[in-house]
Structure 1
Amino acid sequence: MPSWNIEEWRRPGPTPAQRKADLWIGIGVAAVAVLNLFLSRSVGMLHTDDAPARAEQIAWAVATTLPLAWRRQRPDAVALIMSALFIGGQVRGAQEQQVTTYALYAAIYTLGAWGPVRRRARTLRLGIIAAMFGWLTVAFLTQWDEIHGESFEGASGELPVLWSLVFNNYFVNVIFFGSVYLVGDAAWQAARRLNTVESQAAELRAAQAAEAERAVIRERVRIARELHDVVAHHVSVMGIQASACRRALDKDPARARTALTAIEEGARTAVDELRRMLGALRASGATAEAATSGVDRIPQIAESAREAGLTVHSAVFGDPVPLPDSVSQTAYRIVQEAVTNALKHAHARTLDIRVRYLSGLVEVDVTDDGRGTSDKPEKSGGMGIIGMRERVAVHDGELESGPRPGGGYRVRARLPFTPVLSMAGESR
């Protein structure tokens, strides 16, 4: 809900189309008022001994209705001017009664529906209504003797004639001004609710657009991370094998052929990984997760490192349990990236890869005996450590990475997870 106070809300001003419509309405109502004035004069409705001239009567009819042309641009001024002119025309005895009465109704209504300052609009309307009732009272008092002296032919006598006349006039005016006050308030409330709905809809659209943009960025980061993890490891191993092949090509052809075979297998595996990753990116939900690598393929990483010439120790501690696909993939990628960094940056000779299954937690631990510099990947523009941190953060896990006190480098990640129920467990 909006935090602003209802009284502080300002209704937006009229549109150019609404201002143009008001102009034609004002001109049209003034023309109808003049026409009705001539009709009233023709039947003698405005004939009195002290009736003003025809030109003045026309002037009063136009002046009391034409301001409607600016009713939504200046609702305060229009309501005040038309109210004053309405009373002035009646004082002069030149007031066209029918059309000008409805014009006054429209002016007071517009003040209630379009008044820019809510409190002021309420005060002005109450003041105008009080002035109208004051004028009605003055009119009765000034004409009381004349009214009292009339015979009222055809009166039934069921109620006192004079008090019935007074009550009827006040009752009709109470309904008239009460309805215009309430209808104006209702129109203003409806406009406020519409504005609130439109504002909330605009905020929702902006939030959706921002979320869509964030989703695109997250997807780009995910694709970049996947490409890095898939390509970097295999290319690093292939580079090491190519270097070994170059050194052994003349002295040890058998070893060179072994290195070339490892390069061929690495290239094939990298292509397979890329195809698998692209398939996962095209899929969605569980299908995408199922297409990714998991902890069951960590031994392949260890074997790949051995083929690259490292001494690798790999072990699993605890009772292996089924992991959610996303957690299993994250554990695999962290081990893969840690091994890649050891090959590319640490110049390690020995690797120790451990997977621990704890209560509601899986931990992967990769250590090496290399140079142990934690800033090399970032300085070279790599995204390895950054990618690992992002992956672990998604699962609210913990990541430790840095040089070991005795030399070498360690990467350890702890990933909490909710145990995956077996089919038998789900059926019970």
Structure 2
Amino acid sequence: MLHVNMVKILKRLTFGLDSEERRWERPGPTGDHLRRDVIGVVIFFLVSALALELSRGVGAMAEERSPVWLQHAVLALMIFPLVFRRRFPVLVMLVMSALFIILSLWIPALSLQLSYQVAYFASLYSAVAWAKDRRVLWLGTTVVVVAMTLWLILSLTVANTYDGLLERVAEGDETWRGIFDPLTSAALYYFMVNFAYFGGAILAGMSSWRNALQRTQLADQATQIARQSAELARRAVIEERLRIARELHDVVAHHVSVIGVQAAAARRVMDRKPEVAAESLRTIEQASRQAVTDMRNLLGVLRSETSVQNPHNDDDGRHPEPGLADIAALAGNQQDGGPEVTFSRVEDVPGALDEVSAPLALSLYRTAQESLTNVRRHSTASAAVMTLRTGRTGEQRWVELETVDNGRPRQRVAAGSGYGLQGIRERVALHRGTAEIGPRSDGGWRVRARFPLQ
């Protein structure tokens, strides 16, 4: 009955899994596993041989008449199949089950050795932990359980174990008086011992198998997440570049269109060398318009991906692109429910910020926008300082936007994707500038983007 329960437990553990888990096969052992198994088994045998001799010294093997060398040989025969316990787990379990019964009948006193019992326990555990085909494992375990049940029955009947108990009771041995009669006591005792033995091996092996399955699933999930993150990052960079391309197109196209209009006007009013001027201005007009046409055609290819992704996006509506003058208003709009933002402009030369080109001004505005969004969503900051400044390093003049806050990353809010900060880096790289983004040594967070001025 006990062993039938063990089979039911294993069957429930095995077939209680979903279909994907049942199809999963634990990867076989590596060369490193095999080397460790060989070393471990050798050490285990040496310790077991020493334990056998120590037990002999206290009389545990007094009734055994077989040669000492044979006892050690039998012990080695029981232990050394464990070398292959990971590579052939079910086969090793079946072999060691047969050895356990045969050797126990041959040298009964040896089967009482702790190392002998531990070796068989290890074979049961390894079979459940490493078997690839779980149905074969269940069938093999059924065979083992039936064989062990028969062996226990034989040990209590043919081996006259129970008759010996009855004789000792009949002789008046008071140590055998208990709350139950000898037959019930023996049956319950063997039930508890075998339940703990086989149940512990099965549960420990199943726990190891499930842990291996979870590790594999976590590794697969981590790989999938990394792949998806890389794809999302790639898409975010592409979308950011497409947005930059649209903005640059609008700014540059506007100025080039103005050149075309002014050149056409000059051709009509100029009276000095009208033929030459008219021809030159006509060339300028045609070249500027052709440049706008080519630029629209080229960037239209880049826009097509965004147009497909956002079919409801209306690109016909034109709005003035924001610039440096709009950064102060952007900082002021953060006061509503957000950190207090202080904005300042610093010019090393009066009027230096007025010389910033429209594309660069737009990139500075977008940088300020992303910086403040990062502070508002992902920081505990109560205040932030934003500074727009110009300066010179050697012969190179530059303009930079720096945002500094006094907060820490929010712990209970999911981490951001990082695409906004990636967009800042993309804009800075577009203008061949430098970006410094990260925590400060004295606390808070800094976003500093420096762009060279031509």
Shorter chain as denominator, the TM-score bin is: 0.5 to 0.7
Out of 80, 83, 105, the position equivalent to 1:66 is 80
- Secondary structure of 2:29's partner? coil
Please show how residues 3-402 of structure 1 align to structure 2 within 5 Å: 5-48=20-63, 51-93=65-107, 95-96=110-111, 97-144=113-160, 146-147=163-164, 150-151=167-168, 153-158=173-178, 159-238=180-259, 241-242=262-263, 248=270, 250-252=272-274, 343-344=289-290, 382-383=297-298, 385-386=300-301, 389=304, 393=308, 395-397=310-312
Contact 2:245 2:299 in 1 (8 A): no
Cα distance in 2 between the residues matched to 1:249 and 1:43:
128
Distance 1:23 1:165 in 2: 39
SS at match of 1:137: helix
Change (3 A) 1:166 1:93: farther
User: What's the Cα RMSD here?
Assistant: 4.1
Give the C-alpha shift of residue 387 in structure 1: 5.5
TM-score (structure 1 length as normaliser): 0.58
- Cα 1:56–1:388 change in 2 (3 A) is closer
Supply the distance in 2 between the matched residues of 1:162 and 1:394 (Cα, whole angstroms). 80
| CA separation of 1:345 and 1:226: change in aligned 2, threshold 3 A | closer
Aligned to 1:303: none
Deviation at 1:107, TM superposition (A): 1.4
Equivalent-residue separation in structure 1 for 2:19 and 2:98 (angstroms): 35
Q: Report the AA paired with residue 45 of structure 1.
A: A
Q: Name the % identity.
A: 30
Q: CA deviation at 1:69?
A: 2.5
Equivalents in 2 of 1:195, 1:30: separation in Å?
33
SS at match of 2:297: coil
Flag the 1:205–1:384 CA change in 2: closer, same or farther, 3 A.
closer
Q: Secondary structure at the match of 2:59?
A: coil
Partner of 1:273: none
- Residue 101 of structure 1 and its aligned partner are, at CA, apart by 0.3
Residues 347-400 of structure 1, C-alpha deviations (whole Å, 9 max, x = no match): xxxxxxxxxxxxxxxxxxxxxxxxxxxxxx68x99325445655655653377x
One-letter amino acid of the structure 1 residue matched with residue 101 of structure 2:
I
Q: So what's the TM-score if we normalise by structure 2?
A: 0.55
Q: Which amino acid aligns with 1:39?
A: L
Contact 1:10–1:117 (CA under 8 A) maintained in structure 2: yes
Q: Deviations over 1:313-346 (max 9, x none)?
A: xxxxxxxxxxxxxxxxxxxxxxxxxxx99x4399
Q: Judge conservation of contact 2:81–2:92 (CA < 8 Å) in 1.
A: yes
- The alpha-carbon distance between structure 1 residues 221 and 36, as it changes in their structure 2 partners (threshold 3 A), is same
Structure 2 unaligned regions, length at least 5: 1-16, 319-332, 337-454
Question: 1:155, 1:161 within 8 Å by CA — same for their partners in 2?
Answer: no
Larger radius of gyration: 1
Unmatched segments (≥5 aa) in structure 1: 264-307, 310-339, 347-376, 400-411, 416-422
Q: Identify the residue that residue 376 of structure 2 maps to in structure 1.
A: none
SS at match of 1:151: helix
Query: Which residue in the other structure is 1:359 paired with?
Result: none
Question: 1:276-317: per-residue Cα shift (whole Å, max 9, x none)?
Answer: xxxxxxxxxxxxxxxxxxxxxxxxxxxxxxxx79xxxxxxxx
What code does the residue aligned with 1:383 have? L
- Looking at structure 2, the residues matched to 110 and 387 of structure 1 have their Cα atoms a distance apart, in angstroms, of 59
Query: Would the alpha carbon gap of residues 395 and 43 (structure 1) be closer, same or farther in structure 2, given more than 3 Å must change?
Result: closer
1:25, distance to aligned residue in structure 2 (A):
1.5
Q: What CA deviation, in whole Å up to 9, does each residue of 1:59-93 have, x standing for no partner?
A: 11011112223322222222222222111210101
Aligned equivalents of 1:67 and 1:91: distance in 2?
Answer: 19
Question: Is 167-176 or 97-106 further displaced after alignment?
Answer: 167-176
CA contact (8 A) 1:26 1:65 kept: yes
